[in-house]
Amino acid sequence: MTKPEPRPRICDYEGSNYRTEFWENRGRNYEDRVERIALQKLLPAKGKRLLEIGAGFGRLTNEYKNFEQVVVLDYSLSQLQYAQETLGRDPRYIYVAADAYKLPFRPGVFDAATMVRVIHHMASVRTVLAQIRRVLAPNSTFILEHANKRNLKAMLRYALRKQTWDPNAFEPVEFVELNFDFHPEYIRQELQAAGFTVQQRIPVSFFRLGLLKKSVSVNLLVKLDSLLQKTGWLAAPSIFTRSGTIGTSVNNLGLSAIFACPECGGDLERAGNEMVCRKDGHRWAVRDGIYDFKATADNDD
């Protein structure tokens, strides 16, 4: 009997003050603006249903206004509660707490997905990319942002022998626990292995240096970064990729019921404040408008 593969390590922001400690009034207006510029360049003009993986407190969710429905997914229930406070109870938004390694959706129910500032926390890139490919319909768009190990600062530090890891090495580097930098070609090959074809890559955040941000106006840095994004020079700390789905896959975009059991893939039905799997009986809680697939509700009674 084959043993199940061990669950990859997970970075959990549950209960953290990520919104206030990292973003709000923390001098990252430059990063936020240039990431939005890249995202706007890569997003389709319109779409039916988009999956935002690792949405956190909903920082970028308002960029998806041209989609009929947006599934706001994060592993942290508390971050999703922050997102609800910001975005409101607009029926266009569906809030889901779930493990990206076990997405609780039927195959082919999305025509777009985004994953920004998330994959650098993923111990198994191949597993999560396979899950994303599974839930995307044919001819879909996937926008992925990843931390770039071949950035200018890392290459300079390595040349001066101020860091031990080689930015030109193909394999990912885990410089802090569950914080990975990736070679751009590693990500391209992993996307291809998962059933994607890379269509465009945009380097972002060339000026992510505290001294620069303090001495040069944000507006000027954003303008210069936007110009450098057009060069395709993959030497910035962050790279945005747009990929399309290739190969055969299921198209379930017309389904009104998008969920499936993350454990067995069986159909789910709503029963009060729970989602119940028709196949194995697992129950998943719906907590104040958030579908909670982090743990079963089987023992909540």
Query: Does residue 271 belong to any structural domain of this protein?
Result: no
Task: Say if residues 16 and 217 touch (Cβ distance below 8 Å).
Answer: no
> Would strands 179-181 and 173-176 be described as parallel, antiparallel, or unpaired?
antiparallel
Query: Does residue 292 belong to any structural domain of this protein?
Result: no
Query: Does residue 117 belong to any structural domain of this protein?
Result: yes
CA distances from 26 to 20, 125, 213, 228, 248 (A): 8, 29, 11, 24, 45
Using only C-alpha atoms, the chain has a radius of gyration, in whole angstroms, of 20
Task: Say if residues 140 and 166 touch (Cβ distance below 8 Å).
Answer: no
What pLDDT digit, counting tens, does each position of 202-221 carry? 999 999 998 999 999 999 99
Query: Does residue 32 belong to any structural domain of this protein?
Result: yes
Residue type, position 131, single letter: Q
Question: Which domain covers residue 43, as residue numbers?
Answer: 18-258
Q: Please give the Cα distance from 181 to 86 (Å, whole number).
A: 30
CATH number at residue 247: 3.40.50.150
Query: Does residue 291 belong to any structural domain of this protein?
Result: no
Domain count for the chain: 1
pLDDT of the chain along its 301 residues, tens only? 455 567 788 888 898 888 888 898 888 999 999 999 999 999 999 999 999 999 999 999 999 999 999 999 999 999 999 999 999 889 999 999 999 999 999 999 999 999 999 999 999 999 999 999 999 999 999 999 999 999 999 999 999 999 999 999 999 999 999 999 999 999 999 999 999 999 999 999 999 998 999 999 999 999 999 999 999 999 999 999 999 999 889 999 999 999 999 999 999 999 999 999 999 999 999 999 999 998 777 655 4
Alpha carbon dihedral 241, 262, 251, 59, in 10-degree steps, equals -40
What pLDDT digit, counting tens, does each position of 230-260 carry? 999 999 999 999 999 998 899 999 999 999 9
Task: Say if residues 123 and 9 touch (Cβ distance below 8 Å).
Answer: yes
Token output for 284: 């998943």
